[in-house]
Chain A
């Protein structure tokens, strides 16, 4: 049982390049989330998927798109990376109807130069 796994762990992009962060969970959770965490800062919600087939914007969605591919997988895409998107990205999941305990992946460190 791996929990929440995300790839890649580290990535350097040039401004304007695109990339997709992949996330998968094996806990049979309904809800999945993407957060970003800037150095010394808190967690800010980018997008979430309450259940398979639905996605909604969070606090900071601009510059990102998401896809809930199936119940296990939730990807985050940066279409045209900007230096302001340099951050650590965490994927997370939770059982939709059970207290909202969120389990995080290990994080993806993204640098845009």
Chain B
């Protein structure tokens, strides 16, 4: 089955700096890659996703890049703010009708 590894497990940055979280996946057939943000005591919520027919997707301060050849994808957060502090989960699946496999999560701390 699919295996998703996520790094780093914790990341501390200064407010205003950029943060990058990386995930690798094992199944080359995977074609859907969402990212979830979980604030303390809250539910995981989808923040951005990418499909394998595109290499990059942006939404304001967040972007996701995908390298299908290397089987890895990354979340980029620019101009970090304290409210970006949360746990971020990546995931991968082979698309419609298939299960999502989650990475282990990254705890991002943005220091004011």
Contact = CB atoms under 8 A, between A and B. Distances in A.
A96 B97 CA distance: 5
A100 B51 CA distance: 11
* Chain B contact patch, size range: 20 to 34
Contacts of A107: 42-43
Contact of B32 (A41, A42, A97, A100): A100
A34 interface: no
Contacts of B42: 106-107
Contact of B51 (A41, A99, A106): A99
Contacts of B73: none
12 contacts: A42-B104, A42-B105, A96-B97, A97-B96, A98-B96, A99-B51, A100-B95, A100-B96, A100-B100, A101-B34, A102-B34, A106-B43
